[in-house]
Amino acid sequence: MRSLFLKIFSMSMLLVLLLMSSVLLLSFRLIRVNTIDVLVRDLERQARLLEPDLISCLEEGDSARLNSLVRDIGERLEIRVTVIAPDGLVLADSLENAAKMENHRFRPEIQEALEMRPGRAERTSRTLKADMLYVGWPLVHNGKTAGVLRLSSFVRDINRMLSGLRAGLGRLAAAATLVAALLAFIVARSLTRPVRRMIHVSRRIARGDFQAKAYSLGRDELGELGRSLNSMTEQLGSLVENLRLQREELNGVLESMQEGLVLIDRDDRIRLSNDSFKKIINQDGPEGAYYWEVVRNSAFADLIRRVREKKVIRGEKIEHGGRVYQCSAALLTRTERTLAVWHDQTEAARLEQLKKDLVVSMSHELRTPLAAVKGYLETLGGEVTPQGRGYLDIVSRNTDRLIKIVDDLLVLSEIEGREEVLTRESVDLKALAADSLKLFEATALGKGVRLRLETLESPMIVEGDAFRLGQMFVNLLDNAVKYTDSGEVLVILESEPERVVLRVRDTGPGIPQEHLPRLFERFYVVDPSRSRKMGGTGLGLAIVKHIALLHGGDVTVSSSPGRGSCFTVTLPRPPYAPPPTGRSPAG
């Protein structure tokens, strides 16, 4: 790579040489032209002085005198002198025998002179075999051309004189070129010196030395560039320092996290991890390794794959190394890197399992004595007084409520967060809803409540557990019929391209808005006294929600006091489900 100094110096010298060559060539041409012009004017002046004597010889017709005069003039002036008659015949010549010379009428300088004006020409002489400069001068007497005086000089004499002049100019040009080279060297050095300094400064900056400065800055463009470089260096140093502090803060935050953190690039390589993650994998320095070599867990690999495909944040419960983690992952779209955070849920999972086991154990332990109490109450029913019978009825109702609470607790413990309890098959929700409605016909008829099903004409198929979906229908209908004193309970089934929507709408008293957010919590009831009176456990809607979630769906409620309530369940639609054809009321 050529340096800037060589480029500036070579370009300057090339410009100087081109300029000097052009000047020399033009000077040589102009000098030659001017020299010949001066010589021509000198010859014309000599011809004007010789004209009277030559006209006198021509008038007298004295050829001897004419030849003598011509030779004398040629020797004295060191030029060739020729006298030509108007018809082109050579009358006298200072160097040759005129009688042997050819007719000169058609020589250019002779023709111009015969037209009574000075003529000139430069050509090779046929007689002397040498390059000559000719000047023709008309010899005019009494208004007529008496002849032509031709004066000629050897071009070699001119060239000899010009050669000396060229040599002098060449030496002068060489000296000027050396001076120009020295000046070009000085200018190139002065221009490239600050550039070299800035290159040195930039290399120090590249090595991380942000204290480097460019000094001795002028007021030209290079000085402005140096000042800009210094300003950029200060800003860059400040920026790098801020980045260093931020990186230290980030490292401090990462290392203080109890959760394990790992950053994976698009090539499946680990780019960043904290100490908590290294403890999880029991390995130091996993950066650069493939994540599936470090974490040999198919659930984690599947989580990373699904996050990259769907580009959404996802969470997954993962068992690794004998511990349970809640792993959340998100795709950083700009860098296409995946960030995963491992939350240790081992202790929480253990406590949750203990709670579930306790609930199941207590439920089983309570169910047997409660069933025995119920049996004895029925046995004692016929042996007590009417007043005692009233007490037995109260005890019996509360026993039934306790048994229902125990049953609902057992159901919740079975389905809560456990998708494996489902037996998946194709289920016709229309038929399931119709069968569930039949269970409440007697109760509804006794209260004067009308039951109605509004659905599609064709079967409405979902993929799920028929028993659990039946439980969901029963709990929703039980809740609706129980709290509706008059009017109707309407079951609506709607089919959409990707989901099925189930709505249970009643004309009951409605639910105040402040209770809606907590309505699906366990043991939460809007009116505790009325709920106990009607045998409610506060677990029915919680069971509905968990069944919907297990099927990949959801449940919501809309209600206002005095206008009834509407519970909406959405379930995903399998790809083979038949399309909707139309709606018709039934019931």
Q: Report the percentage of the chain scoring pLDDT > 90.
A: 6
**Better pLDDT: 587 or 518:** 518
What is the CA angle 394-400-404, rounded to 5? 145
Residue 116 pLDDT greater than 60, yes or no: yes
**Better pLDDT: 454 or 371:** 454
**Better pLDDT: 155 or 355:** 155
**Is-contact 228 311, C-beta < 8 A?**
no
pLDDT of residue 503: 92
Residue 430 pLDDT greater than 50, yes or no: yes
What average pLDDT score do residues 454-476 get? 84
Q: Which two tokens stand for residue 54?
A: 């030559």
- How far is the CA of 348 from the CAs of 311, 343, 400, in angstroms? 29, 11, 34
**Better pLDDT: 130 or 78:** 78
Lowest mean pLDDT, pick from 117-126, 289-298, 371-380? 371-380
Strands 90-93 and 119-124: unpaired
Lowest mean pLDDT, pick from 95-99, 228-232, 374-378, 453-457? 374-378
**Is-contact 66 54, C-beta < 8 A?**
yes
What average pLDDT score do residues 20-45 get? 81
pLDDT of residue 74: 87
Of 501, 455, 495, residue with least CA distance to 580: 495
Of 76, 120, 69, residue with least CA distance to 92: 69
Domains annotated for the chain, with CATH where assigned, are 38-162 (3.30.450.20), 208-255 (no CATH), 257-344 (3.30.450.20), 349-412 (1.10.287.130), 422-572 (3.30.565.10)
pLDDT of residue 451: 92
Lowest mean pLDDT, pick from 244-253, 258-267, 523-532? 523-532
Characterize 72-106 residue by residue with b for buried, 16 or more Cβ atoms within 10 angstroms of its Cβ, and e for exposed: ebbeebebbbbbbbbebbbbbbbbeebeebeebee
What's the burial of 356, exposed, middle or buried (CB within 10 Å: 0-12/13-18/19+)? middle
Lowest mean pLDDT, pick from 233-242, 283-292, 401-410, 491-500? 401-410
CA distance 18 to 170: 14
Dihedral angle at the C-alpha atoms of 179, 182, 188, 194, nearest 10 degrees? -130
What average pLDDT score do residues 392-407 get? 63
Characterize 28-54 residue by residue with b for buried, 16 or more Cβ atoms within 10 angstroms of its Cβ, and e for exposed: eeeebeeebeebbeebbebbeebbeeb
pLDDT of residue 569: 93
Residue 535 pLDDT greater than 60, yes or no: no
Give the model confidence (pLDDT) of 376-399 as tens digits. 566 665 566 666 666 566 666 666
pLDDT of residue 107: 87
Helix 466-482 crosses helix 429-439 at what angle (to 10 degrees)?
A: 40
Residue 148 pLDDT greater than 80, yes or no: yes
> Is residue 585 very low, low, confident or very high in pLDDT (cuts 50, 70, 90)?
very low
Strands 449-456 and 487-495: parallel
Task: Say which DSSP state 21 is in.
Answer: H
Residue 586 pLDDT greater than 60, yes or no: no
Q: Which two tokens stand for residue 51?
A: 């004209």
CA distance 483 to 117: 141
- Mean of all residue pLDDT scores within the chain: 79
What average pLDDT score do residues 78-82 get? 87
Give the model confidence (pLDDT) of 536-565 as tens digits. 566 778 888 888 888 888 999 998 888 889
Give the model confidence (pLDDT) of 321-372 as tens digits. 888 888 989 988 888 899 999 888 887 767 666 666 655 555 555 556 656 6
Lowest mean pLDDT, pick from 52-61, 154-163, 341-350, 402-411? 402-411
What's 325-389 look like in SS3?
EEEEEEEECCCCEEEEEEEECHHHHHHHHHHHHHHHHHHHHHHHHHHHHHHHHHHHCCCCCHHHH
pLDDT of residue 417: 52
pLDDT of residue 1: 42
- How far is the CA of 313 from the CAs of 237, 305, 327, 330, in angstroms? 37, 12, 11, 4
**Better pLDDT: 111 or 173:** 111
